[in-house]
Structure 1
Amino acid sequence: ANWLVSKESMVAFPHAQRSIARVEVRVKDHLQPMTILNLIDSAEEELGTPVQSAVKRADEQEFARLNAANLMFCEDAARKLRGLFESDPRISDYFIHVEHLESLHPHDAVSRVVKGVPGGFSV
């Protein structure tokens, strides 16, 4: 297994896999209301891939193309969502949990982020 110790094999690459993002937000009451659909649409746009439950055969190639064009580690996805929530003045606090359901490893990759406000969400 010489390939295991080769320098060329030591670079990490994101790869296609199923992922789950769970987010919780606290919204400031006095600002423009936010719906769950607004939140989902914003997250999909930020990550570059739409949420998919069941995909028709005709749409499968486009989902695969979008996923391949937006490969990222779970930490990258969590950072992107953090940037989105930090830039939205309606959001006072957030909890982000991104999990990649690993196909190559015996464990899943997980990243969690909170805003860090006193008395707010914690990891």
Structure 2
Amino acid sequence: MHVIHTVWPYLALMLLIAGLFPAVERRFGWKVFSVLPPIVLTYLLVTALAVSGLWQVNVEIKAAQSMLVSHMVPALLFLLMINCDLRAIWRLGPRVLGVFACTSLSLFVAFIGTYLIYRHWLPGN
């Protein structure tokens, strides 16, 4: 059963959820936040609510989701990178950085390979 049918309650809920876990972390400082940062818990909660069918996925809400992803994700990634300590990453050493580079490369190859294998099932192909 869908509770949210229009875009404004959907956006209000997204803003509420986005501020919920950072506020709880600042207020209570629970140890769970050292394992699961607020951004991960926010993502998990939004995913759980979407799977549970809390909002109806209509044209209006899809447009809002698209706008949020296209405008907010790059800004949030930039803000996350501001807090990134490049010296600490460099201190991980060449072996760990090599593993990271190999993993990134293998994922890139896997994505391209998967697309090439399954592109015939995509609509319009």
Scaled by the length of structure 2, the TM-score of the pair is: 0.26
The answer to which structure has the higher strand fraction is 1
Higher Cα radius of gyration: 2
Scaled by the length of structure 1, the TM-score of the pair is: 0.27
